[in-house]
Amino acid sequence: MARSALLAGLGALALASIALAGCASSTSGSPSEEPTQPVAADPDLGAAWLDNGRVIGLVTVGSSTCVPQAESADVSEDGVLQVTLAAPEEDEACTADLVPRVTLVGVPEDVDPEEDLSIEVTGDNQQGQVDLAAVAGLAPGGETDFQPSAGWATAAGQFVILTWGSSTCVPVIEDVAATAPAEVTVTFQTPPDDQACTMDMAPRGQVAAVNDLEEDSDVELILTGGEFDDVKVPIYGTNS
């Protein structure tokens, strides 16, 4: 059975309705089948380890209001994580902006975050490949502790933040700043007093970026403002 890692779009699903990542599967073609064409690397794709290696934050570029969901995540015979994306089930029209946004992908149980991982992405007008570097010390066994986590993505300075809370009250980033050689502070907006929030516990992924750090590894993230009171977590991996 797959880990209790989770498939969800940006704050889209309550905890009770989050689907498990698909169990790892292997595929083999018959001699009569056409050979599979290699998937080219896509510079717009990014990926980051989250939640101690239980989750991958997959960064794509597109509409900020129509974030794709992970429909499946399976490991091929050659160890490639194949992720299929699907458009969110919403009737609203998508905004025409092009921004980095994150899809949360539950990691199959036989993926080791201490080893480099190649990811192939298809579906929802996406097709490409991205490599996710290993991070020593990640141990994804067991269930999530519902604590914030963060990981460096593929683009220089870009990182993904995972928080847990109401799916209808996703915290809004107000400012991102390097506050020490190896420290980033993300400040969230103070929500309005009359904001009504559902009482679910959902995973919420967000993309942020910082460009003036002096160190590339062992960077600490401080979350402050809104529902966060100077919460400190490491940013997994290395800023490339």
Reference 13, options 140, 212, 202, 141; nearest CA is: 202
Q: What residues are paired with 222 via a beta bridge?
A: 185, 232
- What does R_g of the chain's alpha carbons equal in angstroms? 18
* pLDDT computed for residue 119 by the predictor: 98
Q: Is pLDDT at 170 greater than 80 in this prediction?
A: yes
pLDDT digits (tens, 9 = 90+) for 140-164: 988 999 999 999 999 999 999 999 9
pLDDT bin (cut points 50, 70, 90) of residue 1 is: very low
Alpha-carbon torsion 220, 226, 227, 230, what sign?
A: positive
Alpha-carbon torsion 91, 169, 188, 52, what sign?
A: negative
Reference 163, options 226, 219, 95, 218; nearest CA is: 226
Q: Is pLDDT at 51 greater than 90 in this prediction?
A: yes
Reduced to 3 states, what is the DSSP secondary structure of residue 2?
Answer: coil
Residue 176 corresponds to which tokens in the numbers above?
């991102």
* pLDDT computed for residue 236 by the predictor: 98
Region 54-68: mean pLDDT is 95
Helix ranges (H only) for the chain are none
Mean pLDDT lowest among 22-26, 65-69, 139-143, 222-226: 22-26
Region 97-118: mean pLDDT is 96
What is the identity of the amino acid at 40? Answer: A
Q: Is pLDDT at 221 greater than 50 in this prediction?
A: yes
Region 197-213: mean pLDDT is 96
Q: What angle do CA 135, 138, 139 make, to 5 degrees?
A: 150
* pLDDT computed for residue 11 by the predictor: 36
Mean pLDDT lowest among 21-30, 119-128, 200-209: 21-30
Q: Is pLDDT at 225 greater than 60 in this prediction?
A: yes
pLDDT digits (tens, 9 = 90+) for 24-50: 333 333 333 444 566 788 888 999 999
Q: What is the mean pLDDT of the chain?
A: 86
* pLDDT computed for residue 20 by the predictor: 37
Q: What is the pTM of this model?
A: 0.85
Annotated domain spans of the chain: 6-25+41-236
